[in-house]
Structure 1
Amino acid sequence: MFRRTLQGKLPQRSFFLFGPRQVGKSTLLGGLKTLFTVDLLDPEKQLTYIKDPTLLSRQLESLPRKGMVLIDEIQRVPKLLDVIHGLLEKQPGLNFAMSGSSARKLRHGAANLLGGRALYRTMHPLTLEELGKDFHLDWVLNFGTLPKIYTHLIQGKEDVAQDLLRSYVITYLREEIKAEALVRNLQGFQNFLDIAAAQFAEQVNFTDMGRECAVAYSTVREFYSILEDTLMGFIMPPCLKSLRKRMSHSPKFYFFDNGVTRAILGTLKTAASPLERGRLFEQWFIQEVYRMNAYGQKDWKLSFWRTGHGAEVDLVIERGREILCGIECKFKKTISRADLSGIDSFRGVYPKKPCYIVAPIEIPLTMDGIKVLPPHQMLEVLERF
Structure 2
Amino acid sequence: MEFDSRFTYFCKNGIIMSTIQRDILDEAKLLLSQFRALCIIGPRQSGKTTLSRLLFKQKQYVSLENPSVQIAAEQDTQAFLQQFPNGAVLDEVQRVPHIFRYLQGILDDNKSRGQFILTGSNNFLLQEQISQSLAGRAGYLQLLPLSYLELSAAGLTKDNIYKHILAGGYPEIWDQDLIPDKWMSSYVQTYIQRDVRLLRNITNLGDFTRFIMLCATRAGQLINREEMARAIGVDTKTIQAWLGILESSYIIYLLQPWYNNMNKRIVKSPKLYFYDTGLLCHLLGIQSQAALSNHQYYGSIFENWIITEIKKNRFNQGINEGMYFYRDSTGNEVDLLMEKQGNYLPVEIKSSKKVNTSMFSGLRFWLKNNPGAHSLLIYGGEAPVSLSDQLQAISWKEIGEL
The verdict on a shared fold, with TM-score over 0.5 as the criterion, is: yes
SS in 1 for 2:115: strand
2:26 maps to 1:5:
no
- Residue 280 of structure 2 corresponds to residue 261 of structure 1: yes
Greater mean alpha carbon deviation, residues 187-196 or residues 21-30:
187-196
SS of residue matched to 2:331: coil
Determine the structure 1 residue equivalent to 2:195: 176
Does 1:41 pair with 2:61?
no
Cα 1:315–1:9, aligned 2, differ >3 Å: closer, same or farther? closer
Q: Report the counterpart of residue 333 of structure 1 in structure 2.
A: 353
In structure 2, how many angstroms separate the alpha carbons of the residues matched to 1:177 and 1:360? 36
- Match of 1:244, SS state, is coil
Deviation at 1:183, TM superposition (A): 3.4
Structure-2 change in CA distance of 1:68 and 1:48 (3 Å): closer
Of the candidates 8, 12, 27, which is equivalent to residue 50 of structure 2?
Answer: 27
Match of 2:8 in 1: none
Q: Which of 294, 297, 302 does residue 315 from structure 2 map onto?
A: 294
Secondary structure at the counterpart of residue 246 of structure 1 = coil
Which digits, 9 at most, give the CA deviation of each residue in 1:257-277, with x for residues without a partner?
001112223333571235422
Contact 2:378-2:393 within 8 A present in 1 as well: yes
CA distance in 2, matches of 1:338, 1:57: 61
Alignment of 1:171-250 (within 5 A): 171-241=190-260, 244-250=263-269
What number of residue pairs does the alignment pair up? 370
Q: Does the CA contact (< 8 Å) of 1:78 and 1:111 recur in 2? A: no
Please tell me whether the aligned partners of residues 38 and 70 of structure 1 are also in contact (alpha carbons under 8 angstroms). yes
Shift of 1:331: 1.0
- List per-residue Cα deviations over 1:263-321 (Å, max 9, x = no partner): 2233335712354222122111111111222221346421111122222211011246x
Aligned residue for 2:118? 98
Indicate the SS of the match to 2:381.
coil
Question: Deviation at 1:356?
Answer: 0.8
Letter in 1 for 2:137: R
CA contact (8 A) 1:149 1:164 kept: yes
Distance 1:224 1:333 in 2: 33
Between the aligned partners of 1:2 and 1:41, the Cα distance in structure 2 is 25
Determine which of 1, 13, 18 is the counterpart of 2:41. Answer: 18
Conservation of the 8 A alpha-carbon contact between 1:75 and 1:103? no
Name 1:317's counterpart in structure 2: 338
2:7 maps to: none
Q: Residues of 2 paired with 1:223 and 1:186: CA distance?
A: 11
1:50 aligns with 2:74: yes
Counterpart check, 1:304 vs 2:328: no
Structure-2 change in CA distance of 1:349 and 1:276 (3 Å): same
2:156 alignment partner, one of 129, 134, 137: 134
CA contact (8 A) 2:199 2:245 kept: no
Structure 2 CA distance for partners of 1:182 and 1:344, relative to 1, 3 Å: farther
After superposing the two structures, state which structure 1 stretch, 108-117 or 182-191, moved more. 108-117
- The more displaced of 173-182 and 12-21 is 173-182
Equivalent position amino acid for 1:324 in 2? Y
Structure 2: stretches of 5+ with no match in the other structure: 1-18
Cα distance in 2 between the residues matched to 1:243 and 1:366: 34
AA in 1 matched with 2:323: L
Once the two structures are TM-superposed, the CA of residue 182 in structure 1 deviates from its matched residue by: 4.9
For residue 310 of structure 2, what is the amino acid of its counterpart?
A: V
TM-score, length-scaled by structure 2 = 0.85
Q: What is the rounded CA distance, in whole Å, between the counterparts of 2:283 and 2:398 in structure 1? A: 31
Q: How does 1:119-130 map to 2 (within 5 A)?
A: 119-130=139-150
Partner of 1:117: 137
Residues 32-41 or 281-290, more deviating: 32-41
Contact 2:27 2:318 in 1 (8 A): no
**SS of residue matched to 1:326:** strand
Using the alignment, how far apart are the partners of 1:378 and 1:316 within structure 2? Answer: 15
Q: Report if the CA contact (8 A) 1:293-1:299 is conserved.
A: yes
Distance (whole Å) between structure 2 residues aligned to residue 215 and residue 108 of structure 1: 28
Distance 1:324 1:24 in 2: 31
Return the letter of the residue paired with 1:43: P
Match of 2:230, SS?
Answer: helix
Are 1:141 and 1:277, in contact at CA under 8 Å, matched by a contact in 2?
A: no
